[in-house]
Structure 1
Amino acid sequence: MSIFQNIRQWASRIKRDAVTLWFAYRHPGTPWFAKALAAFVVAYALSPIDLIPDFIPVLGYLDDALLLPGLIWLNIRLIPAAVLEECRVGADTWMKEQGAKPRSMTGAVLVLAVWIAAGVGLWAWFITRA
């Protein structure tokens, strides 16, 4: 298998696992701490807006390449195996039927809120320094 095929398979597993967490968040068998982390990860992963825009060199892809897969990996480890398998089947079915991953407007609002808060904080810091 070539390195490009390995990367392509890894990326498709990450996408599927993000949708799996979307199902796990709603599953009654998921522990509360895994649900809390899943809510954050799903909101961010399925958000149409990135926290760090991709046009920023190196940093723009850092969240997509390291932060998000790490959070997904951690969250997957917190979910019981039986629940995880059921949610993966649901995610696979969803992606085959819909042809795409769902979108999270909550995640977009969360990212915008972080950017606005950072802008206001930077503005307040700049005003106090002047």
Structure 2
Amino acid sequence: MLKKIEAKAKELKKQTLTLYLAYTHKRVRAYKKAFLLMIMIYALSPIDLIPDFIPVLGMLDDLIIIPLGIMIAIKIIPHEIWEECREEAEKGVSIDPKYKKIGAGFIICIWVIALILMLKGLIYYKS
């Protein structure tokens, strides 16, 4: 079972590299690149939307959101571009570290907004 999980993790990493290469591809339209960027920064972010220490839900977001996003990306990117990027990812590519920082910033912003809304709700509820 551990080998199966390891194989899935390797495949997910390759698909994330393929996402990155599709994002940087010249023939991919801007609106598709925006979707690819969202999935890519979420996948690369060192901070999760739902932290892993929360039982079940913490791992569930990684097991559902990222594969679902990749599945949609495969559908919206032309097949020949996806295959070209996948082959290039097989050779080995490093992703620019700035995307990890962008991803972390994005997740932090979501948490800050959620906390502000919760605090406003508490203040409104008490008054």
Q: What is the TM-score when the length of structure 2 is the normalising length? A: 0.87
CA RMSD of aligned residues (A): 1.7
> Matches of 1:92 and 1:24 in 2, distance apart?
13
Contact preservation (8 Å) 1:47, 1:107: yes
* Structure-2 residue corresponding to 1:123: 119
Given the superposition, is the C-alpha separation of residues 55 and 102 from structure 1 closer, same or farther in structure 2, using an over 3 Å criterion?
A: farther
Structure 2 letter corresponding to 1:124 = K
* Structure-2 residue corresponding to 1:61: 59
Q: Structure 2 residue aligned with 1:80, among 78, 81, 104?
A: 78
The 4+ residue runs of structure 1 with deviation greater than 6 A are none
Report Cα offsets for 1:43-71 as digits up to 9, x if no partner: 11011111111001111011111111111
* Structure-2 residue corresponding to 1:52: 50
Matched positions, count = 124
Percent sequence identity over matched residues?
A: 36
For structure 1, the residue ranges without an aligned partner over 5 or more in a row are none
Cα offset for 1:102?
5.4
Q: What is the TM-score when the length of structure 1 is the normalising length? A: 0.85
Contact preservation (8 Å) 1:31, 1:79: no
Q: Structure 1 residue aligned with 2:10, among 12, 15, 28?
A: 12
> Matches of 1:128 and 1:72 in 2, distance apart?
40
